[in-house]
Amino acid sequence: MRKYIGEIMLFTTAIIWGSGFVFSAISLDYLTPYQILAVRFSIGVLILSIIFSKRLKQIKKSTLQRGFILGFLLYFAFLLQTVGLQYTTPSKNAFITAINVVIVPFIAFFIDKRKIDKFELTGAFLAVIGIAFLSLQLTAAEINLGDLLTLGCAFGFAFQIYYTAKYVKDEDPILLTVVQMGAAAIFAWIFVFARGELNFSLQWEGVLSTLYLGVFSTTLAYCLQTMAQKFTTETKTAIILSTEAFWGMVFSVIILSELLTGRMIIGAILILTAILLAETKPSFLKKRSLKEIKEIK
């Protein structure tokens, strides 16, 4: 029963994150990217601090240091993503961001010298083709600035995922998340003050969209993901959360009436296939081969 509850939580997380791309686009009509991120992370750290107030008493110096690093990576990844959304569409922004799970193995290869197998290499290749179908036009001069910024955001999230995997082995994941959110909020407000963007729009549509990002896409989604991973495997987690990109496209088509083109569909399928192949295919094959060996015996 816990297994199914965990999977439902992960699907809910993927849907929330996918819808977040659309609400980010709506918020940008009323607030700047810097203002949106400042409010979003502030809401996140406030709610998490209240919910897990008792755990905060157990926080360590190493948690503060590592959480600060993760907060730095998280903020700049979100910043590139949100600014990129000003120049590209929500569905393209969602799908290009999603290739961060394919980039992670290459980061591990260059930093830890971890071997890259053929499935990860094939997945990366498919992702590049998918981005071309989704984002690029016939000439290089027509490449969208938003697409390039979003690609930078994908690398930022990839590094954040890589270092989270290293740090969480020795830290309380909840406390690490709280510090990470707090650090991201600090960086966000520094940029808001530095740019002099202290006049916030209070129009209800912009306020509600930004609140949605803070309460659901940041606070609730991260909590659901953390709890869900106690009940399901890493492989299933990767598969389910990778559907975030699909939901991003679905919500942009339904809510923003974005035109769904053939190129967009092909690119989406290729990138989603790349994510699933790079993250799950090797383990599936290993499990299958072991099972076959047992059957032979």
Let me know: does 83 contact 33? Beta carbons within 8 Å. Answer: yes
Confidence at residue 279, expressed as pLDDT on a 0 to 100 scale: 59
pTM, two decimal places: 0.76
Confidence at residue 138, expressed as pLDDT on a 0 to 100 scale: 46
DSSP-assigned states of every residue in 263-296: HHHHHHHHHHHHHHHHHHHHHHHHHHHHHHHHHH
Confidence at residue 143, expressed as pLDDT on a 0 to 100 scale: 64
Could you read off the pLDDT of 83-119 as tens digits, one per residue? 888 788 776 777 787 777 778 778 888 888 777 767 7
Domain count, the chain: 1
CA–CA separation, 251 and 253 (whole Å): 5
Could you read off the pLDDT of 155-195 as tens digits, one per residue? 998 898 888 777 877 888 889 889 989 999 999 999 999 99
Let me know: does 100 contact 155? Beta carbons within 8 Å. Answer: yes
Give the structural domain span for 28: 2-296
CA–CA separation, 108 and 91 (whole Å): 28
For the CA atoms of the chain, what is the radius of gyration? 19
CA–CA separation, 7 and 220 (whole Å): 15
If the chain, 297 residues long, is cut into consecutive pieces of 10 residues, what is the mean pLDDT of each piece?
A: 77 86 83 90 93 88 92 91 80 75 81 73 74 58 77 89 80 86 95 92 89 90 72 60 74 76 80 71 52 46
Tally Cβ neighbours within 10 Å of residue 201: 15
